[in-house]
Amino acid sequence: MIRLAAILLAGTMLAGCNAATRLAEIGRGPRLSEIENPTQTPEYRPVSMPMPQAREPVPNANSLWRPGARAFFRDQRAAQVGDIVTVLVSIRDEAQLANSSTRSRDNSESLGLPAMLGLESSINRILPNSVSASNLVSGNSTSGSTGTGQIQRNETVTLRVAAVVTQVLPNGNLVVGARQEVRVNNELRDLGIAGVIRPQDIQSDNTVRHDRMAEARISYIGRGMLSDVQQPRYGQQLLDIILPF
Cα of 47 vs its chain's centroid, Å: 18
Q: HSE of 223 in the Cβ direction (CA atoms, 13 Å)? A: 16
Please tell me the predicted confidence (pLDDT) of residue 162: 94
Please tell me the predicted confidence (pLDDT) of residue 195: 92
For the chain, which ranges sit under pLDDT 70? 1-19, 22-23, 25-29, 57, 65-75, 111-137, 245
Cα of 122 vs its chain's centroid, Å: 67
Please tell me the predicted confidence (pLDDT) of residue 113: 64
Residue 73: C-alpha distances to residues 58, 65, 66, 200 (Å)? 19, 10, 11, 14
Burial class (CB in 10 A: 0-12, 13-18, 19+), 87: buried
Give CA angle at 228 (226, 230), nearest 5°. 75
pTM of the full structure: 0.61
